[in-house]
Structure 1
């Protein structure tokens, strides 16, 4: 069945000046749409999936490019101003450059969205320039260690040189800022917090450390083994003077100036210092399920709506219904917390 949109009136909840903003019942305005392009990945990071990988989504369940772009267009029409492409590894999608181009050309009430991408950088040497030319604004690159053998152990692939080449490629074509993300793990790479920060600052990048979250495929996460924001900052302060950057807004990372700035380092403390009260994100999985929270245990099925011929009005209503059920927080500290059935690779970051 064709997924071309039918001509329809503006989505429900509109006003005379355009669609009403995407606000949940807790008053949070949503402007950030995270779209997973695939659940496949070229690495096998120990904190994400087992060595043999996980069962991949069936090809028939994956959104086509037309379907994906149409959902993005509806979201942008409802006030989404940033679209982040994730995975799995988004650069494994064969038509990723076309996806970027088509989303970057969308028009909404606030103009065109900013399109960004989170990647392991392995394919950036070949794709950095085409992605930039297609309208990609910036990249976030995952790198958990600077040690080759440790990288091989962590990712089960000997690809550190490819990640470093990808970072250099992103720099050479002018992406800025380049944000480097590292998951801090006790006894694994927490001794590299200072080295990773120095690596980033010396090259003009932004280093951000992420608390390990309960999103691994094996459900082996334990809070006691997690490196907290407080511990990360303690290590950083052995080498740098840190000054908190004011005005965080809805950004997931809390930032500190390093040695007076302008360089900064960030920590995404989803567990020990959650920022749910300012969350402005909604997520679309590669198989067309809309999620109001990274840790949600329920989803809104947009794929079925699309394939049954729903118009834009119905898709917009589904966005609003999904956000109407968004909880005030993820409740990781609550004894009743249950880890999502899907691992991070299938949800999208």
Structure 2
């Protein structure tokens, strides 16, 4: 079966898989409440089920998989899943996004299992600020996890920083200098309007142009790197050769080139981070549907895809969070931590 394209001619190529909706942090911009409605454990996909679905997606052209959460390293025996997926020749890129807290103890096992890349979320280098932003005193564990990933052999380490106006925008230089020291590539991310519990407001968004102005005042000339890619980050180079990225999904969305979809831990497949509904792949899989039958659910859904969620939200006159808190409690699939960010 040939690779399907959607109504905007975007191919199906990049799959983000949430392996758990649970997390050991309570970051203000993602899941700030202490208590959530969790997905029922009996509905969580087994590793073999995830592997089966990945086989079907690779037959349709997917060659990149990223494991997310929640916090993916909370999933018991996740290196076993990594080994299953790393053995698939059609996958050219297998990555994990983690908050890094459990990375120190797991980095070597993940590397040995065949994981290609690790991205670690790092919003601050200040212990007290980390405690305020994440509601946990865990900065040292994160930094130790980053060091462990490098010792394990991960060469292409990335760091993700969500920049919040008035909260951590004053640390952009410090974070970039830290990334230079350890040889990682830092990506600054605009605060996104997903989930009512975060109390998202446009006033808290520190936009791309402000990021570049802040950095240019310190570093001088910054050179854009011209790339033909569907990656979410625009990349830039400092005069000393340091490369960093900016993901400006809030003020300059990349919908036109977006080739990614999301599979939740319980098997719901979403075509856009902002989608209100998805396709249940767990039910047919567990009911004995053949691979061809499941692909017949995937292909038409992608071919009919016209999602431009971030662009449509940018055009809203009065922009509010995607879903209010009462909606999130009725359907946890609307939560950012459920569909993998």
TM-score, reference length from structure 2: 0.92
Residue 165 of structure 1 corresponds to 144
- Find 2:238's aligned residue among 258, 263, 267: 258
1:51 Cα deviation (Å)?
3.5
- Two-structure CA RMSD over aligned residues (Å): 1.5
Mapping of residues 211-226 of structure 1, within 5 Å: 211-218=190-197, 220-226=199-205
Say whether the 8 Å CA contact 1:30–1:279 is kept in structure 2. no
Pair 1:100-2:82 in alignment = yes
- Find 2:123's aligned residue among 144, 147, 159: 144
1:334 Cα deviation (Å)?
3.2
Which secondary structure state, in structure 2, belongs to the residue aligned with residue 293 of structure 1? Answer: coil
Residue 5 of structure 1 corresponds to none
Residue 308 of structure 1 corresponds to 287
In 2: Cα distance, 1:339 partner to 1:321 partner: 26
Residue 244 of structure 1 corresponds to 224
In 1: Cα distance, 2:288 partner to 2:255 partner: 34
Which structure is higher in helix share? 2
Mapping of residues 1-349 of structure 1, within 5 Å: 14=1, 20-107=2-89, 111-218=90-197, 220-240=199-219, 241-261=221-241, 263-330=242-309, 331-335=312-316, 339-340=322-323, 341=328, 342-349=334-341
1:208 Cα deviation (Å)?
0.3
1:133 Cα deviation (Å)?
0.8
**Runs of 4+ more than 6 Å apart:** none
Structure 1 gaps of 5+ residues are 1-13, 15-19
TM-score, reference length from structure 1: 0.90
Deviations 1:220-264 (A, max 9, x none): 212232111111111111212310001141010000001251x21
In 1: Cα distance, 2:301 partner to 2:44 partner: 20
1:219 Cα deviation (Å)?
5.3
Which secondary structure state, in structure 2, belongs to the residue aligned with residue 238 of structure 1? Answer: helix
Deviations 1:7-33 (A, max 9, x none): xxxxxxx2xxxxx01311210112111
Query: When the two structures are aligned, how many residues end up with a matched partner?
Result: 327
In 2: Cα distance, 1:133 partner to 1:22 partner: 33
